Amino acid sequence: MTNQAESIRVGVLGARGRMGLEVCKAVDAAGDMELVAMLDQGDELFKASEAHAQVFVDFTTPDAVMDNLRWAVDQGISVVVGTTGFTDERLSQVREWLAAKPGVGVLVAPNFGLGAVLMMQFAARAARYFDSVEIIEQHHPRKLDAPSGTSTHTAHLIAQARAEAGLGPMPDATKEEVDGARGADIDGVRVHSVRAAGLVAHQEVLFGSLGETLTIRHDSLDRVSFMPGVLLGVRKILERPGLTVGLDSFLD
Ligand SMILES: NC(=O)c1ccc[n+]([C@@H]2O[C@H](COP(=O)([O-])OP(=O)(O)OC[C@H]3O[C@@H](n4cnc5c(N)ncnc54)[C@H](O)[C@@H]3O)[C@@H](O)[C@H]2O)c1
Ligand SMILES: O=C(O)C1=N[C@H](C(=O)O)CCC1
């Protein structure tokens, strides 16, 4: 049963989108949360502060998210962000805004699937033991960006682990005859983006070494897979001022 006195007041941005609709349902069904605002493109953000939202959940677009974040942080509203497109420059900008608002928290998580978080952790752990690694991410064809936020984050983690282990570039004698044939180069890791009807969100990390390969794969078969992670973010963000990147540190 909802205890109104302790409920977290949540506003959803991108509420009419694929993820936003799912988040509204999950927040509405959570006994410890109250859905106080459902906003999409064209709606005025001040409606959420009028509704006294304590936390925003943003699943909008890479073009929209920074303006939303700026406004929320200025208003003292903490934000759980699933929207992709976060470069190092964007993260530095958010840190700057937060420096002026010490009580406010922002969580930017490239993937809220708990299995996906583990897949990234396992990939980072395996990285030092293999000569080669490539990432194949697969998504539905209405996705606006490539490569995915998850694959970019995974590539950063792998590159960091390889650098810490003193590994050099991967063996690869191939001359690319057609641009793009070898995928995108993210921190020295090749990332291949597949878009096909019927898919939701999937990623394989393929490692190779002498006479063996290791494949780590995660599949989100339905957008409900992201909801436990989103709700965890909402529950924890009010105790986590400043910027947090990735859901990892919110897990026990
Ligand atoms: N982190 C994760 O676990 C995760 C999971 C799924 C999707 N995503 C990301 O979330 C984002 C949204 O994905 P989606 O599939 O729901 O997209 P979508 O296109 O279905 O939904 C986006 C919604 O945002 C709305 N919107 C656009 N500008 C807005 C603004 N200024 N204010 C409020 N709403 C605005 C659009 O009208 C649309 O309804 C993408 O960046 C996607 O990559 C992240
Ligand atoms: O459907 C999407 O869009 C997704 N985007 C995220 C990404 O870019 O990694 C997470 C998975 C779903």
3-state SS, one letter per residue, for 75-112: HCCEEEECCCCCCHHHHHHHHHHHHCCCCCEEEECCCC
Hey, what are 18's tokens? 């694929």
- The helix/strand count (H/E) of the chain reads as 7, 11
- Distances in Å between the Cα of 162 and the Cα atoms of 63, 124, 132 are 32, 9, 10
pLDDT at 3: 46
Q: Which residues line ligand 2 (CB under 6 A)?
A: 84, 110-111, 139, 143, 148-150, 201
Q: How far apart are CA 99 and CA 182, in angstroms?
A: 41
pLDDT digit string, tens, across residues 90-148 = 999 999 999 999 999 999 999 999 999 999 999 999 999 999 999 999 999 999 999 99
Give the confidence band of 47 by pLDDT, cuts at 50, 70, 90. confident
The active-site residue, picked from 101, 139, 202, 236, is 139
CA of 149, closest atom in ligand 1? 43
Task: Confirm whether 175 is a catalytic residue.
Answer: no
Q: How far apart are CA 59 and CA 41, in angstroms?
A: 11
pTM beyond 0.90, yes or no: yes
pLDDT digit string, tens, across residues 145-189 = 999 999 999 999 999 999 999 999 999 999 999 999 999 999 999
- Sort strands 132-139 and 105-108 into parallel, antiparallel or unpaired: unpaired
Give nearest CA residue, ligand 2 atom 3.
143
Which residues, at least 6 apart from 53, have a Cβ–Cβ distance to it below 8 Å?
A: 9, 10, 11, 36, 37, 77
Q: Is the CB of 14 under 6 A from ligand 1?
A: yes
Nearest to 127 by CA among 45, 65, 208: 208
pLDDT digit string, tens, across residues 17-33 = 999 999 999 999 999 99
Hey, what are 172's tokens? 């690869």
Report the 10 Å Cβ neighbour count for 104. 21
On whether the CB atoms of residues 168 and 112 are closer than 8 A, the answer is no
pLDDT digit string, tens, across residues 67-97 = 999 999 999 999 999 999 999 999 999 999 9
Mean pLDDT in residue range 6-11: 94
Q: What does the chain come to in residues?
A: 252
Q: What DSSP state is assigned to residue 113?
A: -
Q: How far apart are CA 13 and CA 68, in angstroms?
A: 8
Largest CA distance in the chain: 64
Q: Distance from the CA of 181 to the center of ligand 1, in angstroms?
A: 29
pLDDT at 5: 59
CA of 226, closest atom in ligand 1? 3
